[in-house]
Amino acid sequence: MIAKSNPSAGRQKELATLFRSARVIPVLTIERLDDAVPLVDAIAPSVKAVSGQGGDVLGNAIRQNVIDNVAKLNSATPILNAAVEARKLRVVGGIYRLKDGKVDMVA
């Protein structure tokens, strides 16, 4: 991740709007907003992809983020891509539930 030291006021407003529109409340304690920028940038596409869906928006965003990252890892580098194509490697994704220790496999 690349941290941006001072996000513009417009970028800060965009990040706040993204979270509000998806009804997602960040669960991290962040002392400075710019410390959250890399994390928000990483999950923003997943949040945007599910923001129009009904139901559990946070759960949908988490699930979509897992799906998106599995897809990225499947083609991340020539070495990984070759291993996936040769069926020597399988990239899978799941969501770990803290309350009961179970993993819900997603992709």
The mean pLDDT of 85-103, rounded to a whole number, is 89
pLDDT, position 18: 62
The mean pLDDT value for 59-79 works out to: 88
Q: Is 50 exposed, middle or buried (0-12, 13-18, 19+ CB in 10 A)?
A: buried
pLDDT at position 49: 92
- By the 8 A CB rule, do 106 and 63 touch? yes
CA distance 38 to 60: 20
Structure confidence at residue 63 as a pLDDT band (50, 70, 90):
very high
32-60: average pLDDT: 82
